Structure 1
């Protein structure tokens, strides 16, 4: 377990890294440059994060921790609305707190994706909310909640790549993510719930991006 001094140093370095990346871009970041920006030794960086990939993973994880806190304090009580809120909060916090260059570095590297996914508990909560909606009778139990979420995540992954490439704006990413989950939920929605989800999906039509061009 890290000491308080180590925790403060890590937070300070990650704040410096976030500022540097937002100003200069990820390509310009090196451990030596970051050490100069943060006012610490290069050895300190390697002791805390291992290497540049470890630093990027820690930077994403620090942001995910904030996202997890927000997702675990949803205001909605209806199970379907909690799913929508969890997705919207996750996207909004990512856009606000994770440098786009860092998101792109992760989504373009399968190894980093795996490292981040292992540590993101917010995803487990989204799956749990789908399970709660199933138990509440809003969704059928034909398909496992994790499988539904996984299919929606495939679309989200594609949208994140387009967002980091500048092909989508923040609103398009948010609407696209919500729409992807709506489509998956419609596959198992009970009749009384289907109309609500369909209405929500249709409300996103003008905002959501097309998945293919042309």
Structure 2
């Protein structure tokens, strides 16, 4: 079974655009879970341009499914995660000025750094995942850090699939197969949508979790959040 984790960053972006508390991210997380979401994902950035660090604390008491916090493990992020203690932390190598995540880790170059960070999180009972491109040597490098899981960065697949190139799934299938062999759990995220999620799921062995935000929220503007969550769950199962 593949779990659906709803990334609520866009809800925070909408809230921040008016400076108030509408929509309320805590209430939205409650509702998303009530509608069937099996996890809530947030990705706070140092400038707090969408999810704020306080949101991470406010969400902890209400997320009764999987709570996943993504981000670049700078000092402030490390401190936040160790205080909140989510179910999972996903390490993403964001530049501070990046609009959105745009690359996976070089797990070979940053092996020592990632290993130290992962050990600290695991000592505190937090499952770890590394955001990676579908490159076999990077999957092997992730294994060497001691991480529990990887999250496959799926933007390239989504783009090519939209052009009709279904063969773009192959490096993701190969990466997942290698990860399974190495004993790594496999998550995925970035630009997955109602259009491509079923094909992706069908071709990725033992896909544990997908984290979907931008597309899911955009689709909900037309179809409604409860309906869209149910549509994703149907395609994933």
TM-score (normalizing by structure 2) = 0.26
Counting strand residues as a fraction of each chain, which structure ranks higher? 2
**Higher radius of gyration, 1 or 2:** 1
Which one has more relative contact order, counting CA pairs under 8 Å at least 6 apart? Answer: 2
Counting helix residues as a fraction of each chain, which structure ranks higher? 1
TM-score (normalizing by structure 1) = 0.28
